[in-house]
Chain A
Amino acid sequence: MKSPRFPDTIKESSKPSNFCPGCGHSIILKNIGQLMADMKIEKKTVFAIDIGCSLLAWDFFDVDTFQTHHGRTTATALGMKRANPDAIILAYMGDGGGYAIGLQNLIHACYRNENITVILANNTMFSMTGGQMAPTTLPGEVTNTTPDGVFTADKPFYGPEMLAREAHEGAYIARAAVSNPGQAYSYMKNAIQNQIDGKGFSFVEILSYCPINWKTDAEGSAKFLEKMKKTFPLGEIKK
């Protein structure tokens, strides 16, 4: 029996999902599912997802879903939007996909004010491959490929702030965190509404948990996320 807490957009047959216990993706995805149901856009939406842990969401929803290549979700998504401007296109990716391998496509989509919505989960590392350094890795953070901590870059990668600099009038750019789901929900809603209104590029970075690769327990995960929030300030950066 379907739990009353889950909207129809969430595909029952593929649950429980393949995400690790405590993973932030489940929280973000549940939020997106709720949002699609609340906005009544599930029949008009195509959900495009990247490689990395986000790919595990390929059958998360009872909504059209296209799982693409690493970093290439933005380009695929905007191709879909240009082909069918009436569709609502949500692109979903991690910080590795968006800020490392896919940055070129992401920043040009922003620069051209492509009318799509990109939602990016930032957990400061490449998680599917076992926790390697990403552009977002925090100063001093130990990862699989930075065993002594990151010291080469004294500041991490500020994706939304960078995009905001190249963004056009009408673009919407924000940063939220899984620990503040209400705020994340409303930012994502603003982003999708921005697309529906035809105003152009919309982007929400969501700071997210990765207890497996952070090697943290529940309390440790919460603490790590608080540290991330100090580094990456939450809020609407461009609207």
Chain B
Amino acid sequence: MAQVKVKSVLMTGNQVVVKAALTVGAEMFSGYPITPTTEILSEWAKEAEKDKKLIFLQTEDEPAAGFVMVGGVSMGKKAWTATAGVGNVLMQDPLSMAEAMRMPTVTYVGQRGGPSTGTVVYSQQELNLTRMGGNGEGMRIVYAPSNLQELYDLTIKAFNSAWKYRFPAFILSDGYLAKSYGEVNLWPLKKSDIVPTESAFLNPKKQPNNIRNCFSQEPELYNHLLEDFADFASISEKVAEAEVIGDKNSHILVCAWGVVANSAKTAVDELERQGISVKLFRPITMRPFPVKELQKAAEGVTDILITESANGQFGRIVRETLYGLLEAEIHRLYKPAMGVMPEEIQSKIREVMR
């Protein structure tokens, strides 16, 4: 796909997400204010003021916002929402229904400190909740941008993946990215690169559609789930994405995701300048997880440093993915609800090398 050269603009992360949603044809937004994603509401409200075809609703709570979204999706609108922290907890009610009923939804999450009200600032503690939330099996597509440009690129991808594969999609961001102000290239998208929507109802060419999420008998649900699992498995290799940076032959592997991967990248670059070679594995999709990519990156490695702004939520995925495959020693730099600065990662790597 040829990208037209566009002059970059300065924007905050939340503004970038709204621009991306518009680029990929979002038509409807419902949400409830919560720091650090409130500006998604106010920015969309401004856009809806300019373009009367856009639908906007500020609801009375997060579940309402989510169910309004699913209602909109069922009628063929490209609807989405944004939330954070305790709002993300409440949002699992509609999202588990979307997952059960294969409704394509897009949810932008700006992670903040937890548990409970925590802080309004930043964390990576909503990883488990966003990947596996609800009383189900995590049939969700979760993208994890690490900078403002990726907020744009991956938001567009999230919409297209949701509507293409009919699983709820997420942009799992955080307070730092949401509030950062920097340069972004808002490249345009051809109409033909936008996955179209379809209404589940009132289709004159089809029989009336009776849809449900409640089953009476165990085998009914079981068989239904097996079909969904098979679908999810079949898309997983196509959707899963990762990035490996640095010296591919290094025996030290750093694993980080989201904005912390950005911090780790800065650290790895800086060490390289000092003549120290390290490699970084960074998943772009947190679900489906890039299992093969991590296993390949870890081949021949003696030390693995896992770093995240949570107390091992990501670490457990890494360890599970590599279980039984290697003897490498695992090192941890876990800072729940705190940023992980490039300088800290650098000194931790030096410590690991000693």
Residues of A within 8 A of B (CB): 11, 18, 43-44, 46, 48, 51, 55, 58-59, 61-69, 72, 75-84, 87, 104-105, 108
Contact B211 A66 (CB under 8 A): yes
Contacts of B208 in A (CB 8 A): 61-65
Mark contacts of B54-66 with chain A using CB atoms, 8 A cut-off: 1 yes-contact digit, 0 otherwise: 0101011101101
Contact A83 B77 (CB under 8 A): yes
Mark contacts of B9-34 with chain A using CB atoms, 8 A cut-off: 1 yes-contact digit, 0 otherwise: 00000000000000000001010000
Question: Sorted from nearest, which 5 A-B pairs have the closest CB atoms?
Answer: A79-B71, A79-B68, A75-B67, A83-B75, A64-B201
Which of B55, B97, B202, B207 gathers most chain A CB within 10 Å?
A: B202
Contact A84 B75 (CB under 8 A): yes
Contacts of B66 in A (CB 8 A): 75
Contacts of B75 in A (CB 8 A): 46, 79-80, 83-84, 87
Majority DSSP secondary structure for residues of A touching B: mixed
Roughly how many angstroms separate A104 CA and B28 CA in the complex, as a whole number? 22
Band of interface residues on B: 35 or more
Contacts of B346 in A (CB 8 A): none
Contact A78 B60 (CB under 8 A): no
Give min CB distance, A66 to chain B, whole Å. 6
Roughly how many angstroms separate A129 CA and B268 CA in the complex, as a whole number? 58
Give min CB distance, A166 to chain B, whole Å. 12
Within 8 Å by CB of B201, from A66, A68, A75, lies: A66
Within 8 Å by CB of A108, from B28, B64, B67, B201, lies: B64
Give min CB distance, B101 to chain A, whole Å. 9
Contact B60 A79 (CB under 8 A): no
Contact A80 B74 (CB under 8 A): yes
Mark contacts of B75-119 with chain A using CB atoms, 8 A cut-off: 1 yes-contact digit, 0 otherwise: 111010000000000000110010000000000000000000000
Give min CB distance, B215 to chain A, whole Å. 10
Contacts of A77 in B (CB 8 A): 71
What are 22 A-B contacts with C-beta separation under 8 Å? Answer: A11-B210, A43-B204, A51-B214, A58-B210, A58-B212, A64-B210, A65-B210, A66-B211, A67-B211, A72-B64, A75-B68, A76-B74, A78-B71, A79-B67, A79-B75, A79-B79, A80-B71, A80-B74, A80-B201, A87-B75, A104-B60, A104-B61
Contacts of B67 in A (CB 8 A): 68-69, 72, 75-76, 79, 105
Contacts of B73 in A (CB 8 A): 83
Give min CB distance, A46 to chain B, whole Å. 5
Contact B55 A43 (CB under 8 A): no
Contact A87 B201 (CB under 8 A): yes
Contacts of A43 in B (CB 8 A): 202, 204
Give min CB distance, A236 to chain B, whole Å. 27
Known A72-B94, A75-B66; 17 more pairs at CB < 8 Å: A18-B216, A48-B71, A62-B208, A65-B210, A68-B97, A75-B67, A75-B68, A76-B68, A79-B57, A79-B71, A79-B74, A79-B75, A83-B72, A83-B74, A87-B201, A87-B202, A108-B59
